[in-house]
Amino acid sequence: MNFLSKFCIATLMSLLATLTYAQPQPSELSLIQVQDDIYVINNPFVPGNVTLLLTDEGVIMVDNKFAWDYDNMMTMIRSITDQPIKYVINTHYHGDHSGGNARAQADDTLVIASENARLKMIEANQPGLPDVTLDEHAFVHLGGKVAEIFRFGRSHTDGDVVVYFPQHRLLAAGDMFTFGEDVPQLIDYAGGGSARAWTRTLDEVLRLDFDTVVPGHGPVTNKVELTNFRDDSIRLRVRTREMVAAESSRDEIREMLINEFHWIDMQFPAGLNGLLLELQ
């Protein structure tokens, strides 16, 4: 099974928010040191990336994969610190980023997310609802270090946040930004996502002062690639509108989205329906 196929399967599970929390085979994870006290838990395919900020008073974690990856993650984290996970910040409600919440809470970790993400978790009957929510902006202080949480607007869902580490000039972007060859921009219309608003949201993100970016899926990268992704989000809308104006068929628009923007089968027909309705 290739990269795209594996990515499609897990993303489909997430977007539909119909995960069963039964135990499948845990993911094969890799631990990447980005800075002296910043690590990323990554795996080649799915689920989403995890960012870790280590301090002398505990760990701040961004996202926590599926529940079945929790034990592997904790073993990996214990190899670099004996401090507990004090906070986990969910970038959005999908299970590949929030599935470990209930396990974390059982270990006395405080879960933070946007209020919109929490509401979506309630709708999806997901376990591990966030303990603390925010509307637009919050700070998490621990061990003399800080993580800033921003919700700038709709993008992948209507509850996406980014987590900014100003002392490290690093951004954890969640699925507001996915990176890698043939990885599509995933618009979860059922979750309140918006192709139109996504660009404006990224414009606000790009005002922050950072160099390094941890995407929701894919390798750690930089602000230039996030800017390129923002530009592609505009191009996607322009190309779609051009084809609608030219009275292209749905099949022709579908092929364009696949060939030019790497859309995948699970994004049809709901994603195409949502895109065409939004861009009318």
For residue range 211-235, list pLDDT tens digits in order.
Answer: 999 999 999 999 999 999 999 999 9
Rounded Cα gap, residues 213 and 114, in angstroms: 20
Burial 220-248 (b: 16+ CB within 10 A, else e): bbebebbeebbeebeebbeebeebeeeee
Q: Is the peptide bond before 166 cis (omega within 30 degrees of 0)?
A: no
The answer to whether 170 touches 182, Cβ cutoff 8 Å, is: no
Question: What is the assigned CATH class of domain 3-222?
Answer: alpha beta
Q: What is the mean pLDDT of each run of 10 residues along the chain (280 residues)?
A: 40 42 69 98 82 98 96 96 98 96 98 98 97 98 98 98 98 96 87 97 98 96 98 96 96 96 91 94
Q: What is the pLDDT of residues 152-207, one digit of tens each?
A: 999 999 999 999 999 999 999 999 999 987 788 889 999 999 999 999 999 999 99
Rounded Cα gap, residues 142 and 139, in angstroms: 10
3-state secondary structure (DSSP) of residue 270: helix
2 Cα distance to chain centroid: 21
**Strand pairing of 58-62 and 85-89?**
parallel
3-state secondary structure (DSSP) of residue 135: coil
Q: What is the pLDDT of residue 13?
A: 41
Rounded Cα gap, residues 140 and 142, in angstroms: 7
Strand order in the sheet with 85-89: 30-35, 38-42, 50-55, 58-62, 85-89, 110-114, 132-134
The pTM of this model reads 0.91
